[in-house]
Amino acid sequence: MKSFVLLTIAAAFGLMGFGSQRAEETAGSQGSIFRHYDFPSHPTLTHLCQQRVHGSIGHITWDAFASAARPSALRDYYHRKLGDAGFDKRGDGASWRLPADAPRPNRILEIIPIGTNEPFRDCEKAPPSDSRAIIRLSRMN
């Protein structure tokens, strides 16, 4: 009986550990997407999709994320993280085109208010109903 109780407790702790590991892996996958683009992540984002566009000069990979945060709050957050290099303010939104001194940037972070140029329209997953902004990351390869 004592062995059964110990086995049950060990199994319960093992399952709890597995659940938290899965949650960390899920949160980590968003972080790995941002690392691929070499941009910092933000805690309020929901990943919508990844797309690839192929052209004559290579291909562009982009990921779209939705956020309930105000576009201006996201802009301020990223401005603190990324600074002025490649920064372009557009109404409530903004973009960073990096490297800033390159003739053609190879990575871009855009903050787009919901209701404007909506890059997520091709995504299978729709933004949550409380979304106020879209962040689109893109990289030319």
Residue 73 has pLDDT above 80, yes or no: yes
* pLDDT score at 141: 80
Residues paired with residue 135 on neighbouring β-strands, in sequence order: 65, 111
Lowest mean pLDDT among 33-37, 82-86, 116-120, 127-131: 116-120
Q: Give the neighbor-by-neighbor strand order of the sheet with 107-113.
A: 45-55, 58-67, 133-140, 107-113, 93-98, 87-90
Which H helix or E strand runs over 60? strand 58-67
Average confidence (pLDDT) over 105-127: 87
The residue type of 10 is A
The total domain count for the chain is 1
Q: Distance between CA 63 and CA 52 in Å, rounded?
A: 9
Omega before 113 cis (within 30°)?
no
Computed over every residue of the chain, the mean pLDDT equals 80
User: pLDDT tens across 12-60, in order?
Assistant: 333 333 332 223 333 457 888 999 999 999 998 999 999 998 877 788 9
CA distance 82 to 54: 28
| Lowest mean pLDDT, pick from 29-33, 67-71, 129-133 | 29-33
| pLDDT tens by residue, 83-99 | 999 999 988 899 999 99
Domain that holds residue 17: 2-140
